[in-house]
Structure 1
Amino acid sequence: MRWNLRMKAAERGVWKSTELRRRLAEAGLEISAGKMSALWTGTPTSIRLDDLDIICHVLDCEPNELLIREPDAVAARRPAKGNAAAVGGQVITPRLGRNRTLPPA
């Protein structure tokens, strides 16, 4: 995923994180300066849905405009043929669906 907050903010005439932080506070979302800096300069590892809802409200956008899929990045992380992984020189193949216990009744 690519975080597109700065571009969406710029499209709405917001060029500084302090301006967005002020607008978010007016909408009821108080964000610390540190957290705002992290949201503004990088991709957050997590974000509360309530916070995302307010950000979208302030920027008049949808979540899919802030979170942009990157299918090529997903494909690059896919394991090589056969779902095998080498660990310490030893090839380990996952046993998907075999030797699993049944869920409790």
Structure 2
Amino acid sequence: MRAAERGIWKSAEMRRRLAAEGLEISAGKMSSWWAGTPPTIRLDELDVICSVLDCTPSGLMVPEPEKVAARRPQKAETINAQNDAPPRVAPRFGNPRSEPPL
């Protein structure tokens, strides 16, 4: 979105502007960024991108709280639904440790 706000409508144009600032991006990497897949960006690349787009790193990020919520593990149903106490931890008996190699 920031690129479009700056009048950059094609990934090739963005690649040229980044190259002019000293950052060479492969066509494949730029294509994945442009397609909207979650990018992998190094911090030094982020500085150049922000310079070209005249923005801050926070201006490039869009919060997606629904995706964060979807990644949270769901609570497992406990045996005792009335009491949400954590499961009891019991020690193991015997010799739980192995011997070190000779």
- Aligned residue-pair number: 80
Q: Which has the higher contact order (CA 8 A, sep 6+)?
A: 1
Deviation at 1:80, TM superposition (A): 2.2
- Over alpha carbons, which structure has the higher Rg? 2
The one-letter amino acid of 2:51's match is: H
Identical pairs, percent: 68
Change (3 A) 1:51 1:72: same
Match of 1:43 in 2: 37
Say whether the 8 Å CA contact 2:50–2:56 is kept in structure 1.
yes
Q: Which runs of 4+ in 1 moved over 4 A?
A: none
Q: 2:6 aligned with 1:8, yes or no?
A: no
- Output the TM-score relative to the length of structure 1: 0.66
Match of 1:63 among 57, 62, 73: 57
Say whether the 8 Å CA contact 2:32–2:39 is kept in structure 1.
no
Q: 2:28 aligned with 1:34, yes or no?
A: yes
Q: In proportion to residue count, which structure has more strand?
A: 1
The one-letter amino acid of 1:17's match is: S
- Output the TM-score relative to the length of structure 2: 0.68
Where does the alignment leave 5 or more consecutive residues of structure 1 unmatched? 1-6, 86-93, 100-105
